[in-house]
């Protein structure tokens, strides 16, 4: 089992700390991260997305929130959940977690005790903030040497921008994404979701798993630095390579592709479809289905190299043809085509898509206040493991007593003292 390689066996003590127990395999699928405990000090998107992915894989995630305030994204509405002050936005990245309200300014001793019990800490404060509260890596390393401590920031812990706050759109701007996004003759455009945040969360989740595997070999934890800016630059892939190795400055192409023609969105009678021809054979197939087979023999369009050179002429011809029918008509004509093609769907069309419904991506779960909620489930399917939603995003402070009692052994008098001192909610 992967778990047995990631974590020490149950009851083994490493560096004076008893690690999380591993569930015994009893048949059927197990969660890969069952028994892994995550101390989640993140808010907004990148960090919560990372810990949500870990939670989907079975990790126990303790989401530490400010008493009476909570994660800022709880207030990012409308829309809000029915009968709740929590935003629908918050629901998108916080399932499979337990909400524990602790004041980090006055409750660091509680965090210390939790860190001793946990395998991973994830935080996304500006560099230096947690150090000033006595919760930085060097402090926690001395308390919990086997702790994997992951910091998610805007620009990293080094360099002239290290103190700058991190926001998706700023990292996307400075990291070049907005420079290459938008119509060819138009202004820069923001991607419709916080894609740099999401990519950073995914990089962080992979790094955490790698650090857990290394800890199995060394018995030691470590600090991981992941930041939005570096992630965005890494995601430039071929655009970065073109500049670094060929001196080619990037530009905006809208939905088109710099090196492949045709490869973009086309207007139809009822909307838009996107299609691409990555080979000459695919272009021949497209022309045949469009009823203009002779177009593929035109010397201007016979190869991708010549199609790129005569981009405007070809796109004009194809655009006129594709405007003659509806998107659904074209998708019927292109059924089984060798080239990639698909409609540009609205959200309604996305979630009514027969394929999406067939694979069961949307999950409906009971909610204590809203009645029920619908959540988009994990996109990865394991052959011999679970990866699924087991609980809806928590209410603020819902699990404070449960976690402090069960994990730390706090009794009624200790919990009441912490409440009287406004350390917990």
Point out the residues that are catalytic. Answer: 197
Compute the distance between CA of residue 114 and CA of residue 247 in angstroms, rounded to an integer.
51
In the block, residue with structure tokens 């702790």: 147
Give the ranges where 57-186 is alpha helix by DSSP (H): 88-91, 108-117, 129-132, 137-143, 168-174
Least Cα distance to 40 among 88, 96, 109, 106 occurs for: 96
Compute the distance between CA of residue 60 and CA of residue 55 in angstroms, rounded to an integer.
6
In the block, residue with structure tokens 């706050």: 165
In the block, residue with structure tokens 């960090």: 47
Compute the distance between CA of residue 369 and CA of residue 114 in angstroms, rounded to an integer.
29
Cβ neighbourhood burial of 251 (10 Å; 0-12, 13-18, 19+): exposed
Distance of CA 242 to the CA centre of its chain: 27
Cβ neighbourhood burial of 386 (10 Å; 0-12, 13-18, 19+): middle
Q: What is the DSSP letter of 325?
A: S
Tokens (6 digits) for 424: 């917990």
Measured in residues, the chain has a length of: 425
Tokens (6 digits) for 16: 């004076």
Residue 383: CB partners within 8 Å, gap ≥ 6? Answer: none
Give the ranges where 106-236 is alpha helix by DSSP (H): 108-117, 129-132, 137-143, 168-174, 195-218, 228-234
Least Cα distance to 120 among 200, 191, 214 occurs for: 214
Compute the distance between CA of residue 304 and CA of residue 277 in angstroms, rounded to an integer.
9
End-to-end CA distance of the chain: 39
């Amino acid at each position: 089992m992967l778990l047995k390689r990631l974590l020490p066996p149950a009851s083994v003590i490493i560096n004076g700390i008893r690690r999380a127990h591993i569930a015994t395999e009893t048949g059927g699928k197990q969660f890969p991260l069952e028994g892994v405990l995550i101390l989640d000090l993140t808010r907004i998107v990148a960090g919560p997305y990372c810990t949500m992915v870990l939670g989907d894989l079975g990790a126990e995630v303790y989401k530490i929130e400010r008493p009476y305030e909570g994660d800022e994204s709880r207030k990012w509405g409308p829309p809000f959940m029915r009968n709740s002050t929590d935003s629908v936005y918050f629901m998108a990245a916080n399932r499979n977690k337990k909400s524990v309200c602790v004041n980090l300014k006055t409750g660091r001793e509680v965090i210390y005790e939790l860190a001793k019990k946990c395998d991973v800490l994830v935080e996304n404060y500006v560099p230096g903030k947690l150090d000033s509260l006595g919760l930085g890596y060097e402090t926690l390393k001395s308390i919990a040497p086997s702790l994997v401590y992951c910091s998610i920031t805007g620009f990293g812990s080094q360099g002239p921008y290290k103190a700058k706050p991190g926001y998706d759109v700023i990292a996307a701007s400075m990291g070049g994404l907005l420079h290459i996004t938008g119509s060819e003759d138009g202004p820069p455009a923001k991607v419709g979701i916080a894609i740099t945040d999401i990519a950073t969360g995914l990089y962080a989740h992979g790094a955490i798993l790698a650090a857990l595997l290394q800890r199995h070999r060394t018995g030691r934890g470590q600090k991981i630095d992941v930041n939005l800016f570096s992630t965005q630059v890494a995601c430039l892939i071929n655009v970065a390579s073109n500049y670094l190795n060929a001196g080619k400055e990037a530009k905006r192409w809208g939905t088109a592709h710099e090196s492949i023609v045709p490869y973009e969105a086309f207007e139809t009678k009822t909307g838009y479809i996107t299609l691409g021809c990555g080979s000459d054979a695919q272009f021949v197939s497209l022309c045949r289905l469009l009823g203009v087979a002779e177009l593929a023999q035109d010397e201007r369009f016979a190869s991708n190299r010549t199609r790129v050179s005569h981009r405007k002429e070809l796109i004009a011809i194809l655009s006129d043809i594709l405007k003659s029918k509806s998107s659904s008509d074209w998708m019927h004509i292109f059924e089984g085509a060798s080239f990639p093609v698909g409609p540009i769907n609205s959200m309604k069309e996305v979630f009514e898509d027969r394929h999406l419904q067939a694979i069961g991506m949307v999950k409906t779960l009971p909610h204590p206040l809203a009645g029920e909620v619908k959540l988009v489930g994990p996109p990865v399917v394991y052959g011999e493991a679970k990866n699924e939603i087991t609980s809806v995003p928590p209410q603020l402070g819902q699990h404070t007593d449960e976690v402090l009692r069960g994990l730390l052994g706090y009794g009624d008098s200790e919990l009441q003292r912490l409440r009287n001192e406004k350390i917990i909610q």
